Amino acid sequence: MTEEQAKRDVQEADDLRVAALVAKDYDSFAGLLADKLVYHHASGKVDSKNSYLAQFLDGRVTFLASHREHVSIDIVGQTAICRGIARNELDVEGQRISTASRFFNIWARQEDRWTMVAWSSVKLD
Protein backbone atom coordinates (compact mmCIF):
# COMPACT_ATOMS: atom_id res chain seq x y z
CA MET A 1 0.00 0.00 0.00
CA THR A 2 1.33 3.43 -0.91
CA GLU A 3 1.46 6.29 1.56
CA GLU A 4 -1.18 8.18 -0.44
CA GLN A 5 -3.52 5.16 -0.35
CA ALA A 6 -2.97 4.81 3.39
CA LYS A 7 -3.87 8.49 3.86
CA ARG A 8 -7.06 8.03 1.82
CA ASP A 9 -7.97 4.92 3.83
CA VAL A 10 -7.45 6.72 7.15
CA GLN A 11 -9.49 9.71 5.97
CA GLU A 12 -12.26 7.32 4.90
CA ALA A 13 -12.17 5.55 8.28
CA ASP A 14 -12.37 8.88 10.10
CA ASP A 15 -15.24 10.03 7.86
CA LEU A 16 -17.07 6.79 8.71
CA ARG A 17 -16.36 7.33 12.42
CA VAL A 18 -17.87 10.83 12.38
CA ALA A 19 -20.85 9.79 10.22
CA ALA A 20 -21.63 6.85 12.51
CA LEU A 21 -21.41 9.08 15.59
CA VAL A 22 -23.81 11.66 14.17
CA ALA A 23 -26.16 8.92 12.89
CA LYS A 24 -26.14 7.28 16.35
CA ASP A 25 -24.86 4.07 14.75
CA TYR A 26 -22.88 3.22 17.85
CA ASP A 27 -22.07 -0.36 16.75
CA SER A 28 -20.29 0.90 13.62
CA PHE A 29 -18.74 3.74 15.64
CA ALA A 30 -17.39 1.32 18.26
CA GLY A 31 -15.93 -0.89 15.53
CA LEU A 32 -13.67 1.95 14.41
CA LEU A 33 -12.23 2.46 17.91
CA ALA A 34 -9.34 0.38 19.22
CA ASP A 35 -9.97 -1.56 22.41
CA LYS A 36 -7.09 0.38 24.01
CA LEU A 37 -8.48 3.79 22.98
CA VAL A 38 -7.42 6.74 25.12
CA TYR A 39 -9.62 9.80 24.53
CA HIS A 40 -8.43 13.15 25.94
CA HIS A 41 -11.24 15.72 25.82
CA ALA A 42 -10.56 19.45 25.47
CA SER A 43 -12.03 19.79 28.99
CA GLY A 44 -9.24 17.66 30.44
CA LYS A 45 -11.42 14.59 30.98
CA VAL A 46 -9.87 11.28 29.88
CA ASP A 47 -11.91 8.29 28.71
CA SER A 48 -11.25 4.69 27.79
CA LYS A 49 -13.17 3.11 24.92
CA ASN A 50 -15.83 1.80 27.30
CA SER A 51 -16.31 5.03 29.24
CA TYR A 52 -16.32 7.08 26.02
CA LEU A 53 -19.00 4.87 24.45
CA ALA A 54 -21.09 4.82 27.63
CA GLN A 55 -21.97 8.53 27.41
CA PHE A 56 -23.56 7.95 23.98
CA LEU A 57 -25.22 4.64 24.79
CA ASP A 58 -26.92 6.03 27.90
CA GLY A 59 -28.07 9.17 26.05
CA ARG A 60 -26.10 11.74 28.05
CA VAL A 61 -24.30 12.99 24.93
CA THR A 62 -25.51 13.12 21.32
CA PHE A 63 -23.55 14.53 18.41
CA LEU A 64 -25.86 16.59 16.20
CA ALA A 65 -23.20 17.64 13.67
CA SER A 66 -19.44 17.46 13.31
CA HIS A 67 -17.18 19.17 10.79
CA ARG A 68 -13.42 18.94 10.46
CA GLU A 69 -11.21 21.56 8.83
CA HIS A 70 -7.55 21.83 7.84
CA VAL A 71 -7.00 18.10 8.31
CA SER A 72 -3.55 16.70 7.64
CA ILE A 73 -2.50 13.07 7.86
CA ASP A 74 1.02 11.69 8.22
CA ILE A 75 1.76 7.98 7.89
CA VAL A 76 4.52 6.47 10.02
CA GLY A 77 4.74 2.73 9.40
CA GLN A 78 1.40 1.21 10.42
CA THR A 79 0.37 4.39 12.28
CA ALA A 80 -1.38 7.53 11.08
CA ILE A 81 -1.24 10.90 12.83
CA CYS A 82 -4.15 13.20 11.97
CA ARG A 83 -4.38 16.87 12.90
CA GLY A 84 -7.00 19.51 12.31
CA ILE A 85 -9.87 21.54 13.70
CA ALA A 86 -13.17 19.99 14.80
CA ARG A 87 -16.38 21.98 15.06
CA ASN A 88 -19.19 20.11 16.79
CA GLU A 89 -22.81 20.60 17.74
CA LEU A 90 -23.83 18.41 20.65
CA ASP A 91 -26.68 17.77 23.01
CA VAL A 92 -25.20 17.25 26.47
CA GLU A 93 -27.82 16.20 29.00
CA GLY A 94 -30.48 18.25 27.20
CA GLN A 95 -28.36 21.34 26.57
CA ARG A 96 -27.19 22.24 23.05
CA ILE A 97 -23.48 23.04 22.94
CA SER A 98 -21.22 24.24 20.13
CA THR A 99 -17.53 23.43 20.40
CA ALA A 100 -14.42 24.18 18.39
CA SER A 101 -11.12 22.49 19.09
CA ARG A 102 -7.74 21.75 17.60
CA PHE A 103 -7.20 18.01 17.65
CA PHE A 104 -4.83 15.24 16.84
CA ASN A 105 -5.77 11.61 16.68
CA ILE A 106 -3.78 8.46 16.12
CA TRP A 107 -4.89 5.55 13.97
CA ALA A 108 -3.16 2.15 13.83
CA ARG A 109 -3.45 -0.46 11.12
CA GLN A 110 -4.30 -3.74 12.82
CA GLU A 111 -5.77 -6.89 11.30
CA ASP A 112 -5.98 -5.22 7.86
CA ARG A 113 -8.04 -2.25 9.04
CA TRP A 114 -7.50 1.16 10.62
CA THR A 115 -8.72 1.80 14.18
CA MET A 116 -8.47 4.99 16.21
CA VAL A 117 -6.23 4.46 19.24
CA ALA A 118 -5.96 8.00 20.63
CA TRP A 119 -7.58 11.43 20.50
CA SER A 120 -6.49 14.64 22.15
CA SER A 121 -7.87 18.14 21.70
CA VAL A 122 -7.67 21.67 23.05
CA LYS A 123 -10.35 24.34 22.84
CA LEU A 124 -9.92 27.06 20.27
CA ASP A 125 -10.13 30.64 21.56
How confident is the model over 27-48, as pLDDT tens digits? 999 999 999 999 999 889 999 9
**Higher-confidence position of 125 and 11:** 11
* Res 86: pLDDT: 96
Per-residue confidence at 125, pLDDT binned at 50, 70, 90?
confident
With b for 16 or more beta-carbon neighbours within 10 A and e for fewer, the 79-112 pattern comes to ebebebebebeeeeeeeeeebebbbebbbbbeee
How confident is the model over 51-95, as pLDDT tens digits? 999 999 999 999 999 999 999 999 999 999 999 999 999 999 999
Sequence ranges of the domains in the chain: 3-123
* Of the options 3.20.20.70, 1.20.1270.30, 3.10.450.50, 3.20.20.150, the CATH number for the domain spanning 3-123: 3.10.450.50
Average pLDDT value over all residues in the chain: 95
Residue 105 contacts residue 116 (beta carbons within 8 Å): yes
